[in-house]
Amino acid sequence: MNKKELKKKDLKKAIKEKEKQLAKLKLHVDKSETCSSIYNKVVLEKAIMKKELEEMEKNPVTEKVKDIFRKKDLICDNFKTK
């Protein structure tokens, strides 16, 4: 395995671990402010990891092609009078 595959595997494992933590914390969220803030922190960490994994799985070539063909609208285009 190369470094990228190892990092993907580690991220997937970490996301699974965060899901387990969330399941345990969910039972205690409304019991205390501390549990609630820890729960929110873990949710945020999981979201960041998922975004990282998403970015790693994107193909840079297809993203470049999409950017080329994507129509870019300007805000002022919405206010043109006919």
Q: Given this model, what pLDDT does residue 11 score? A: 92
CA 35 to centroid of chain Cα atoms: 23
pLDDT per residue rounded down to tens, the chain (82 residues): 788 788 889 999 999 999 999 999 998 888 889 989 999 999 999 999 999 999 888 877 887 777 777 777 777 777 766 5
Q: Given this model, what pLDDT does residue 40 score? A: 94
Q: Given this model, what pLDDT does residue 50 score? A: 94
Q: Quick check: 39 and 22 in contact, CB under 8 A? A: yes
Q: Which residues of 26-46 are buried (b: 16+ CB within 10 A; e: fewer)?
A: eeeeeeeeebeebbeebeeeb
Domain boundaries, the chain: 3-79
Q: How far apart are CA 24 and CA 52, in angstroms?
A: 24
